[in-house]
Amino acid sequence: MAGIHITDIEAAINHWRALKPSPDGVTLAPEIRALAEVYALMIFYHESEADEFTMPADAQQAWMGWYESTMDTPCIAICSTSQGDEVCKGCGRSFDEVQHWPALRPAEKRQVWRRITLHADAWRFNRYAERANET
């Protein structure tokens, strides 16, 4: 089961705050309210991930609105899995993740993104960082 990490909930809240700032410093846009409710429960219960399947529909829709604004694939067009590597030196994904990427659900893709970003040892984060910024 893929969960939506709390940092993605935070990023989605900040995305919507930038798009729909509070007119009076108190009122929140519906997307922010929906995500803030999920975020508050995660904090209260000391959870780091929200279940993508039980998240309220309005929060799921707001999260997807943010997700669709993010880069889909970590690929930088240097794929060493095609040369037999189990993990791509370019993007940090496993052979299976590269092969099945189009079929992964958004929460699964974000879990992969989180892992490779935390490791930060793929070329997209160092040797070819400029290429990653172009995509």
Q: pLDDT tens for residues 27-44?
A: 999 999 999 999 999 999
Residue 135 confidence (pLDDT): 55
Residue 33 confidence (pLDDT): 98
Residue 119 confidence (pLDDT): 94
3-state SS, one letter per residue, for the chain: CCEEEHHHHHHHHHHHHHHCCCCCCCCCCHHHHHHHHHHHHHHHCCCCEEECCCCCHHHHHHHHHHHCCCCCCCCCCCCHHHHCCCECCCCCCEHHHHHHHHHCCHHHHHHHHHHHHHHCCCHHHCCCHHHHHHC
Q: pLDDT tens for residues 74-127?
A: 999 999 988 899 999 999 999 999 999 999 999 999 999 999 999 999 999 988
Task: Look at residue 1 and tell me whether its pLDDT is greater than 70.
Answer: no
Residue 134 confidence (pLDDT): 64
